[in-house]
């Protein structure tokens, strides 16, 4: 299997790049943010639990997020691989994912981390608010909080994959196509190795 953690701060371009990666490598795209948003829209129990956290730019608790992610993976028993987009976002989630994939006789192939500086992120998110309809994009204080939470809780997850020699940093500024090509090159280098 080809299991990729697509990593990076809010606004780094994970969703956009995921689309190109799933087409090229025939993978299943699991975006925890998208799954939460569709649950909020459908007014499910999970959506109700997640909404208060998301509205503030805080993380949804690990217990909720981990069990949701695992049940999503279970829906695709014949997948050739997954793009994990927005997960893992804490060290506990990274550990849980490793254990879960081991129990399925598979593992993470690599973490591809989109690197974009903070001023560019804030500009992109506020711009995205015009079309995304996402309240967490529209308010600069919430945007800043998401980046603060990222730096505090999520950035350390990179260390987890660095220790396993699975981390690959990708420069995240340029055209969508240029960045896709950087990602493809990184994947090909890992897979052919
Ligand atoms: P972005 O990457 O642009 O911040 P996402 O759509 O990935 O947006 O996430 C939106 C929100 O969903 C996050 O701010 C958080 O509240 C929640 N969320 C998404 N993934 C996770 C996760 N793995 N753990 C906890 N909360 C999450």
95-133 pLDDT, tens digit per residue, is: 999 999 999 999 999 999 999 999 999 999 999 999 999
Nearest Cα residue to atom 10 of ligand 1: 33
CA atoms of 60 and 53, how far apart (whole Å): 6
Can you tell me which residue has the tokens 């990076």? 8
Phi, psi of 169 (to 5 degrees): -85, 135
Q: What is the mean pLDDT of the chain?
A: 96
Mean pLDDT for the stretch of residues 26-52? 97
Name the pTM for this structure. 0.95
pLDDT of residue 67: 95
**Local confidence band at 45 (pLDDT 50, 70, 90 cut-offs):** very high
Is the pLDDT at 193 greater than 80? The verdict is no
State in Å: Cα 193 to ligand 1 middle.
32
pLDDT of residue 179: 98
Ligand 1 close to Cβ of residue 68 (< 6 A) = no
pLDDT of residue 128: 95
State in Å: Cα 86 to ligand 1 middle.
6
Mean pLDDT for the stretch of residues 51-66? 97
Mean pLDDT for the stretch of residues 49-69? 97
Mean pLDDT for the stretch of residues 4-22? 97
Task: Tell me how many degrees the CA angle 69-20-95 measures, rounded to the nearest 5.
Answer: 30
pLDDT of residue 192: 86
pLDDT of residue 156: 96
Ligand 1 close to Cβ of residue 17 (< 6 A) = no
Is the pLDDT at 22 greater than 90? The verdict is yes
pLDDT digits (tens, 9 = 90+) for 130-146: 999 999 999 999 999 99
**Local confidence band at 155 (pLDDT 50, 70, 90 cut-offs):** very high
């Amino acid at each position: 299997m080809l299991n990729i953690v697509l990593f990076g701060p809010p606004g780094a371009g994970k969703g956009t790049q995921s689309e190109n990666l799933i087409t090229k490598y025939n993978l299943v795209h699991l975006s925890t943010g998208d799954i939460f948003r569709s649950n909020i829209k459908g007014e499910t129990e999970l959506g109700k639990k997640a909404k208060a956290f998301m509205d503030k730019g805080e993380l949804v608790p690990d217990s909720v997020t981990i069990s949701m992610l695992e049940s999503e993976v279970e829906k695709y028993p014949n997948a050739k691989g997954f793009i994990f987009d927005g997960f893992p976002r804490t060290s506990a989630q990274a550990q849980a994912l490793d254990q879960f994939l081991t129990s399925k006789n598979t593992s993470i192939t690599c973490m591809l981390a989109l690197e974009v500086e903070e001023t560019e992120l804030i500009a992109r998110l506020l711009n995205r608010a015009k079309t995304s309809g996402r309240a967490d994009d529209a308010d600069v204080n919430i945007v800043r909080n998401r980046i603060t939470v990222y730096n505090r809780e999520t950035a350390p997850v990179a260390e987890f994959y660095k220790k396993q020699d699975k981390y690959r940093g990708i420069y995240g500024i340029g055209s969508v196509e240029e960045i896709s090509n950087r990602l493809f090159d990184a994947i090909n280098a890992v897979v052919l190795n």
